[in-house]
Amino acid sequence: MNRNVAVIGTGETVFRSHHPDKTYVDLAQEAVVAALRDANMEPAGQEGVIEAATIVSAQFENLPKPPYCIAYVRLDGVSTAMVNFVKEFDMSDLQAASVRVKPGARVKVKWIDKPEGKATDFYYVLA
């Protein structure tokens, strides 16, 4: 290799033949979080900035009842954006609401009371 490459953190799950109490997402998360902490890094901030957003106002089959807002948000400390719903703001006036979620707007992560290991365990609210 032409460039130096260093391992600055490692993480692993507890060594056991079976983990019946955990999904593979749980296992991957445990190892990743451990590696980041070992490297003195945090997984991601709890606030971020909207990179792209839309308020869906048409009803599509197998999608939520409109209106609802989804946004790609780049959380503080990470380099990629993650999509999720933006909730808890007034969407009755679509044009006014779309201005509030324009790129650059700051949002906070809000967790649901009983996480289920799904992407919908959290959503964004305007900061």
Partner 1 sequence: MDVYVIGYASHPPAEKVLTKRLEEMVYDTSAQALRAAAIERTELDHITIAACDELDGRSISNMLMVAPAGGYLKDELRVTDSAMVGLHLAAMRIESGRYHLGLLASWNKSSTAPFEDVMRMRCEPFFTRPIGLNATIADALFAQAQCAAGIASESKATAQSANLQHAAASNPRGLKRKAATADNIASSRYVATPLREGHCAPVTDGAVSVVLASGEWLKHHPQAKPLARIAGIGSAIDHYYLGKDRLVGLASFKEAWGVASRQANVRSAQTLGAVEADCQTAYQALAYASTLRLDGAPSFCPSGSVFAQNPYFCAGLINLIEAIEQVRAAGPAQQSQTRFAAAHGQHGFAQQGNVVAVVERV
Rule CB under 8 A: which residues touch partner 1? 25, 51-58, 60-64, 70, 72, 74, 80-85, 94-95, 97-98, 102-104, 118-120
Chain centre distance of CA 83: 6
Smallest gap from Cβ 120 to partner 1, in A, equals 5
Query: Nearest 5°: CA angle at 123, between 118 and 124?
Result: 155
By C-beta, is 13 or 98 nearer to partner 1? Answer: 98
By C-beta, is 38 or 108 nearer to partner 1? Answer: 108
By C-beta, is 20 or 104 nearer to partner 1? Answer: 104
Smallest gap from Cβ 2 to partner 1, in A, equals 25
By C-beta, is 46 or 57 nearer to partner 1? Answer: 57
Q: From residue 56, give the alpha-carbon distance in Å to each of 63, 74, 95.
A: 10, 20, 12
CA distance 23 to 19: 8
From its phi and psi, is residue 104 left (phi > 0), alpha (psi between -120 and 50) or beta? left
